[in-house]
Amino acid sequence: MKPLLLALSFALMLAVFRGSARAAAPERPNLIVILADDLGYAELGSYGQKVIQTPHLDQMAREGLRFTQFYAGATVCGPSRSVLMTGLHQGHTRLRGNISTKGSIVGALRPNDLTVAKTLQSAGYTTGMIGKWGLGDEGDAQTGLPRRQGFDTFFGYLNHHHAHNHYPDYLWRNEEKIALPNIVTPVGNFGSGVATNPVLFADDLIADEALKFVAQHQDRPFFLYWCPILPHANNERNTTEKNGTEVPDYGPYARENWPVQDKGQAAMITRLDNYVGRLFTQLRQLGLAENTVVLFTSDNGPHNESSHDLTRFQPARPFSGIKRSLTDGGIRVPLIAWNPRLIRPGTTTNHVAYFGDWFATACDLAGVPAPAGLDSVSFAPTLRAQPAAQMKHEFLYWEFHEKGFSQAALYQGRWKAIRLQTVNAPLALYDLQTDIAERADVSSQNPELTAKLAVYLSTARTETPDWPVK
């Protein structure tokens, strides 16, 4: 009996040891990034919105961590998404502006581009891109297709012009067009238009696909990149009707005495909030909440392309500018991070971070080394409430290629330099600590600091024939 008892005792001790080891070395978390389209910093209740209802995202903020100084990769969607995927700032990443030619190679990632999806895929993550891609297309731009850039599966829109229409007549599943019953009248030359019989709302389908991806891949680590189109306008519809909002119903705003454009804008954001609520319900039902890190943010500042009233919602408050501005209204965006095990609930941080930091952060969370040469600083220490371990950027960088070449840089999270529309223009300097709206140029009072930022702007970017300085 003694040998048997000894064997049983040893087996019990071994089981306890293995269980302790598993507890000490938690599973690699699932990673979900939800990227809204043209959602302003102040269009969520947790960021000061007073009119639009966002109860689920506000609950996410109460249960998670809210960043107060987080920046998009660019002030328009294409380059911003390129920064997010490549971990390179706008002076180094492949796409540095939006393009107007459907299928152009200039608007696509190339085979030698390294994305966070490729890195996570190589580390054993199942990867899914659901929604608006914007980094590759048919024709010459197919090198940038999601499944060539590290995603196992894709459903949604390839180019951002097609994504203007919330009622398209097709979406993509991997490399196959999936016909939809909506009948679309083309407007302009960019592959978008206006539905004459709006039947299927694309973001409803996209949300269903995102939830399906989570359910199908719950047994192994996954990375879901979910890019709703809301609350982006249908620019073509706005051209013809002066109302760029498209949404199945006006929800809680139906009885408001507002113009339909305002009802539509608010309804799009509340509908997006409902999708997020569905995700959190699913994560809890599947038992995935403890081991899933969810980030919610927006690709750039708020738009004015629906003919809605900005003064009603004040979507960039307290900043100046909106989408296409290099002031903080165009590039500072909400970021809410959520995980019940990792993140302290109801917290905020003033850590200065931007889209390019997601690459290093994802690697940090997944337990894999980040590639060399990135413009990326992991903010995982901030998620873990370890401020002493948090590295910081000295500079952040942006540029803009519409109506001339403009640049902006942020130094030490405080000093903002902007040069508009030509490399020879004077450099304006703003102190965000005392002038959050960037109204008072203090360059003449700070000549040494202005010169330092001018030197940085002259060296921050690599030259590329795709995006020359004009």
Quickly list DSSP for 45-59: GGGT-SSS--HHHHH
User: What is the C-alpha separation between 413 and 71, in angstroms, rounded?
Assistant: 11
| Per-residue pLDDT tens digits for 67-91 | 999 999 999 999 999 999 999 999 9
Among 392, 425, 449, which residue terminates a domain? Answer: 392
Query: Which CATH number is 431's domain given?
Result: 3.30.1120
Average pLDDT over residues 278-299: 98
Has residue 338 been placed in a domain?
Answer: yes
Domain membership of residue 467 (yes or no) is no
pLDDT above 70: residue 16: no
Confidence of residue 357 (pLDDT cuts 50, 70, 90): very high
* 435, 334: one domain: no
Residues 321 and 138: their CA atoms lie apart, in Å, by: 34
**Given 370, 392, 414, which residue is the final one in a domain?**
392
Does 92 lie in the same domain as 113?
yes
pLDDT band at 102 (very low <50, low <70, confident <90, very high): confident
User: Is residue 278 domain-shared with residue 418, that is, in the same domain?
Assistant: no
Q: Is residue 172 part of a domain?
A: yes
Is there a contact between 83 and 90 (Cβ–Cβ < 8 Å)? yes
| Same structural domain, 201 and 323 | yes
Shared domain for 274 and 401, answered yes or no, is no
Is there a single domain that holds both residue 170 and residue 46?
yes
Residue 16 lies in a domain: no
Last residue of a domain, one of 368, 392, 416: 392
Percentage of residues in the chain having pLDDT higher than 90: 89
355, 428: one domain? no
Judge if 149 and 279 occupy the same domain: yes
Q: Is residue 148 part of a domain?
A: yes
Residues 380-426: tens digit of each pLDDT: 999 999 999 999 999 999 999 998 999 999 999 999 999 998 777 89
- Domains contained in the chain, number: 2
- State whether 375 and 407 are in the same domain: no
Cα angle 112, 115, 118; round to 5: 90
Residue 319 lies in a domain: yes
CA distance 454 to 418: 10
Q: Identify the pLDDT of residue 100.
A: 79
Contact 36, 272 (CB under 8 A): yes
Domain shared by 375 and 408, yes or no: no
* Residue 178 scores a pLDDT above 60: yes
Looking at the structure, tell me whether residues 411 and 277 fall in a common domain: no
> What CATH number is given to the structural domain containing 163?
3.40.720.10
CA-based R_g, the chain, Å: 23
**Do 95 and 82 contact (CB within 8 A), yes or no?**
yes
Residue 420 burial (C-beta neighbours within 10 Å; 0-12, 13-18, 19+): middle
Full residue range of the structural domain in which residue 238 is found: 26-392
Q: Is 13 or 219 the better-scoring residue by pLDDT?
A: 219
pLDDT tens, 30-57? 999 999 999 999 999 999 999 999 999 9
Partners of 406 in the beta sheet?
A: 400
Q: How far is CA 204 from CA 131, 247, 272, in A?
A: 10, 10, 9
Does 301 lie in the same domain as 171? yes
Q: Is residue 61 part of a domain?
A: yes
120 lies in a domain? yes
